[in-house]
Chain A
């Protein structure tokens, strides 16, 4: 029960449970109209977020995409800052100028409201990273049919820059399935086309994610150029909060890790307690941010329009 694997998985479970609880709190805030915005939740991607950041170093950088909350949290950003940003508070991560999709911080540089809009940034940023440091481009399978995915893969391969392209393939792009968006099979196949290493893993299994990230990061860190990792996950919420279409109950990465832990002898009750504690933490975070933090100040808008030139 106290072997190394169990301990490691328990730590992952705790983290994934926190990520989930945060998104559950956001969903709750959206449902009762206490949180504004066009909220695209990352539920279903917890194993990818937890597994990826487990293998990153402080100087590595990550570009997130359309469902960015969990990436920022897994990247170490204080959840209170993220929640305050979603709530439009002055104390938010970006003083309320970003909101849900456009969050920006240090290791996780930014999300985006434009599908595919950050992939090429990860290529340019990688071109000036110090040797051994990498940049990860996170994107969904909806972005793979956009030209910039191909332009970016091609450019990264030509420039031989340390970019890990990480596709969270949840099988859905907005309201339609992957089959309706492309005649091409797996995203992983594009690796071969551009001559870069590529594998696919079960993105609901955190151990598989860690192993996949490790395997693909090795050549990238070694300076051999980019690599592609396709993680198959489920989109557990609709495209955005408030919509009612396509969501999955299958493929929950938390149920997967809990089944594994129970198989290793961990009590279901203990895991359930963790989940309950975290859900309570998320609700308390939402409530206290809404109640205690002041709204963002319009008087500051002009001052954020341009960066001031050095005098």
Chain B
């Protein structure tokens, strides 16, 4: 990504490459011929035709089902679901068909499909266009979920999703869509967390926009932070995190999520199981407030996790117990 693609451009490049390399790849979604609202599919219909870039009416349930049918017929559908929030409409097809068919069929069929969605508040778009639901997808056996946090890793994630014979949900952080910011360790595997910055006092696990935010704020702290970017939400791959916690003895998890703790509690549970005796403090979980995303600017600003939330959590982990009591 030295040419400086933003996240959407990186995804589009990878999607175009997948379409050129494999004629079974078909793009399905609302207004995909015209490029969609975020230009994700711009130009693909000109190059590959409207048989392979298929516009649909607004019917997420059935065009996702059509994608499952295509996958069962030997196709490689890419479903543009546009927003995390809209997956609720298609959830039966994702959860009951795409995720379960490999298992239910006893391995006779797999469902190789890629589902694209964006997630994140901060836009004033209100409660139906802002949720992070990927922690919830991660609780569905049989789905894979990737949440890359830089253009280079998005490109790698799209390619990895197409190479995988299972349904893979790609979550793009709305805040990063048009960001060109790279991260350390770009070029690592999209299927595992990666260390963005080594440290010795506290392990901080983040994803998406919060990985960028954390990278900035931890520089100025007098605490040595090992910052890890989660990247993959399902199946969770926590060896790197557990190994880090074994050294630092402290863990903070910061994650935007509509259901507070849906993902972070799952991770915390896994770390407690594997590394409880290494911990010197309870795991700190920094997560969105448990309300729908509000629309008004003043309310949404208050809803958003910020630098202070991350700093306070980290500080809380290293504050000696006596001081905490005195305060």
- Residues in chain A near residue B70, CB distance under 8 A: 124-125, 127-128
Please, how many angstroms separate the alpha-carbon atoms of A129 and B26 in the complex?
13
CB distance from A115 to the nearest CB of B (A): 11
CB distance from A66 to the nearest CB of B (A): 13
| B69 adjacent to chain A (CB < 8 Å) | yes
The answer on a CB contact under 8 Å between A110 and B101 is: yes
| A121 adjacent to chain B (CB < 8 Å) | yes
How many B residues touch A, CB cutoff 8 Å? 46
CB distance from A78 to the nearest CB of B (A): 14
CB distance from B73 to the nearest CB of A (A): 4
How many A residues touch B, CB cutoff 8 Å? 48
CB distance from B204 to the nearest CB of A (A): 29
The answer on a CB contact under 8 Å between B163 and A128 is: no
| A97 adjacent to chain B (CB < 8 Å) | yes
| B243 adjacent to chain A (CB < 8 Å) | no
| A10 adjacent to chain B (CB < 8 Å) | no
| A39 adjacent to chain B (CB < 8 Å) | no
Q: Beyond A120-B69, A305-B102, A308-B165, is A147–B61 a contact (Cβ under 8 Å)?
A: yes
- A62-101 contact mask (Cβ, 8 Å, vs B): 1 or 0: 0100000000000000000000000000001111111000
CB distance from B98 to the nearest CB of A (A): 10
CB distance from B109 to the nearest CB of A (A): 6
- Quick check: which of B32-40, B51-59, B252-260, B292-300 contacts chain A, the rest being far away? B51-59
Residues facing A in B157-180 (CB within 8 A) are 163-166
The answer on a CB contact under 8 Å between B102 and A128 is: no
CB distance from A291 to the nearest CB of B (A): 22
Q: Beyond A121-B65, A121-B66, A155-B63, is A127–B54 a contact (Cβ under 8 Å)?
A: yes
The answer on a CB contact under 8 Å between B163 and A155 is: no
Please, how many angstroms separate the alpha-carbon atoms of A151 and B60 in the complex?
9
| A159 adjacent to chain B (CB < 8 Å) | yes
The answer on a CB contact under 8 Å between B142 and A148 is: no
| A107 adjacent to chain B (CB < 8 Å) | no
Please, how many angstroms separate the alpha-carbon atoms of A116 and B144 in the complex?
25
| B16 adjacent to chain A (CB < 8 Å) | no
The answer on a CB contact under 8 Å between B142 and A305 is: yes
| B96 adjacent to chain A (CB < 8 Å) | yes
The answer on a CB contact under 8 Å between B103 and A305 is: yes
Q: Beyond A114-B92, A307-B165, is A96–B106 a contact (Cβ under 8 Å)?
A: yes
- Residues in chain A near residue B54, CB distance under 8 A: 127, 159
- Residues in chain A near residue B103, CB distance under 8 A: 97, 301, 304-305
CB distance from B139 to the nearest CB of A (A): 14
| A306 adjacent to chain B (CB < 8 Å) | yes
| B97 adjacent to chain A (CB < 8 Å) | yes
Please, how many angstroms separate the alpha-carbon atoms of A26 and B181 in the complex?
62
The answer on a CB contact under 8 Å between B106 and A97 is: yes
Which residue from B64, B77, B108 sits with its C-beta under 8 Å from A104? B108
Please, how many angstroms separate the alpha-carbon atoms of A304 and B102 in the complex?
6
The answer on a CB contact under 8 Å between A102 and B63 is: no
The answer on a CB contact under 8 Å between B57 and A158 is: yes
CB distance from B77 to the nearest CB of A (A): 7
CB distance from A139 to the nearest CB of B (A): 12
The answer on a CB contact under 8 Å between B62 and A309 is: no
Q: Beyond A119-B65, A121-B66, A309-B165, is A128–B26 a contact (Cβ under 8 Å)?
A: yes
The answer on a CB contact under 8 Å between A129 and B73 is: yes
**CB-CB nearest in chain B for A102:** B104
CB distance from B283 to the nearest CB of A (A): 27
The answer on a CB contact under 8 Å between A98 and B105 is: yes
CB distance from A56 to the nearest CB of B (A): 16
Please, how many angstroms separate the alpha-carbon atoms of A118 and B57 in the complex?
18
CB distance from B158 to the nearest CB of A (A): 15
**CB-CB nearest in chain A for B100:** A102
The answer on a CB contact under 8 Å between B59 and A154 is: yes
Which residue from A94, A148, A152, A306 sits with its C-beta under 8 Å from B105? A94
Which residue from B57, B96, B106 sits with its C-beta under 8 Å from A114? B96
| B141 adjacent to chain A (CB < 8 Å) | yes
| B249 adjacent to chain A (CB < 8 Å) | no
The answer on a CB contact under 8 Å between B108 and A121 is: no
Q: Beyond A104-B105, A155-B56, is A148–B73 a contact (Cβ under 8 Å)?
A: no
Please, how many angstroms separate the alpha-carbon atoms of A129 and B73 in the complex?
8
| B148 adjacent to chain A (CB < 8 Å) | no
Which residue from A114, A306, A310 sits with its C-beta under 8 Å from B102? A306
- Residues in chain B near residue A98, CB distance under 8 A: 104-106
Please, how many angstroms separate the alpha-carbon atoms of A154 and B207 in the complex?
39
| A123 adjacent to chain B (CB < 8 Å) | yes
Which residue from A105, A151, A309 sits with its C-beta under 8 Å from B164? A309
| A166 adjacent to chain B (CB < 8 Å) | no
| A61 adjacent to chain B (CB < 8 Å) | yes
**27 interchain pairs, CB-CB under 8 A:** A93-B106, A94-B104, A97-B104, A98-B104, A102-B104, A104-B108, A112-B97, A120-B93, A121-B66, A121-B72, A125-B70, A127-B69, A128-B26, A129-B73, A135-B69, A147-B59, A152-B66, A155-B62, A159-B54, A304-B107, A305-B141, A306-B102, A306-B142, A307-B110, A307-B112, A307-B165, A310-B163
B residues contacting A by CB (< 8 A) are 24, 26, 28, 54, 56-57, 59, 61-70, 72-75, 77, 92-93, 96-97, 100-110, 112, 141-142, 144, 163-166, 235
- Interchain residue pairs A-B with the least CB separation, the first 6: A124-B66, A120-B65, A121-B69, A124-B69, A307-B110, A151-B62
Not counting A110-B105, A127-B75, A148-B65, a sample of 12 additional A-B residue pairs whose C-beta atoms are within 8 angstroms of each other reads A94-B105, A120-B93, A124-B66, A125-B69, A128-B75, A135-B73, A154-B59, A304-B107, A305-B141, A305-B142, A307-B107, A307-B165
A residues contacting B by CB (< 8 A) are 61, 63, 92-98, 102, 104-105, 109-110, 112-114, 117-129, 135, 147-148, 151-152, 154-155, 158-159, 301, 303-310
